[in-house]
């Protein structure tokens, strides 16, 4: 008969197995969290550009032309946050250019600085522009979110 008292606790092997399992779980989490954050910011950018695009089309229906620049005052029904990118910068209003081709080729927004840009045309337009190109930088380009993400006027001429 064994009369030695029972020992309570975990063996060193059990503790090591638990540590290894926790380490694996943590490494998997740290790999996927940054990607999920980038995708979330990209979806926010797409949503903002689509919102601005919708307001510009309403503006066109009311005025018969597009504005040369975008401001919150110009769109009283727009959520001001739609004009602010995930990094906190306001939309960049580019100087109007000659035509749609030139607007599409204008400088793309970047990760640092303005992440949204608006380019109207033709060059001499003020609030009587015939077209525009909206752009947003995309951190994780895909077929759903190409870089840059573009929206043009439905009535671009």
Number of compact structural domains in the chain? 1
31 vs 106 pLDDT, higher one: 106
Q: How far apart are CA 71 and CA 93, in angstroms?
A: 9
- Asked whether residue 51 is assigned to any structural domain, the reply reads yes
Alpha-carbon distance of 129 to 131, in angstroms, equals 6
Is 85 a member of any domain?
A: yes
DSSP three-state, residue 36: helix
Domain range for 59? 12-152
Mean pLDDT of 66-84: 89
Please state the pTM of the whole predicted model: 0.78
Distance CA 81, CA 109 (A): 18
Evaluate if residue 1 carries a pLDDT over 60.
Answer: no
**Residue 144 forms part of a structural domain:** yes
The string of pLDDT tens digits covering residues 87-101 is 899 999 999 999 999
The per-residue pLDDT for range 10-55, each reduced to its tens digit, is 888 888 999 999 988 888 877 777 788 888 899 999 999 999 999 9
Core vs surface per residue 88-127: b (16+ CB within 10 A) or e: eeebbbbebbeebeebeebeebeeeebbbbbbbbbeebee
**Residue 114 — pLDDT band, cuts 50, 70, 90?**
confident
Domain presence at residue 123? yes
């Amino acid at each position: 008969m064994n009369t030695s008292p029972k020992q309570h606790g975990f063996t060193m092997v059990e503790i090591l197995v638990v540590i290894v399992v926790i380490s694996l779980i943590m490494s998997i989490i740290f790999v996927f969290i940054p990607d999920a954050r980038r995708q979330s910011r990209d979806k926010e950018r797409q949503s903002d550009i689509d919102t601005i695009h919708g307001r510009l089309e309403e503006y066109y229906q009311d005025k018969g032309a597009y504005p040369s620049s975008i401001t919150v005052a110009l769109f009283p029904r727009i959520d001001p946050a739609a004009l602010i990118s995930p990094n906190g910068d306001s939309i960049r209003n580019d100087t109007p250019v000659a035509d749609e081709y030139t607007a599409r080729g204008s400088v793309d927004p970047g990760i640092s600085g303005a992440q949204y840009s608006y380019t109207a045309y033709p060059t001499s337009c003020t609030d009587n522009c015939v077209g525009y190109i909206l752009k947003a930088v995309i951190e994780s380009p895909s077929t759903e979110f190409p870089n840059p993400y573009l929206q043009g006027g439905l009535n671009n001429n």
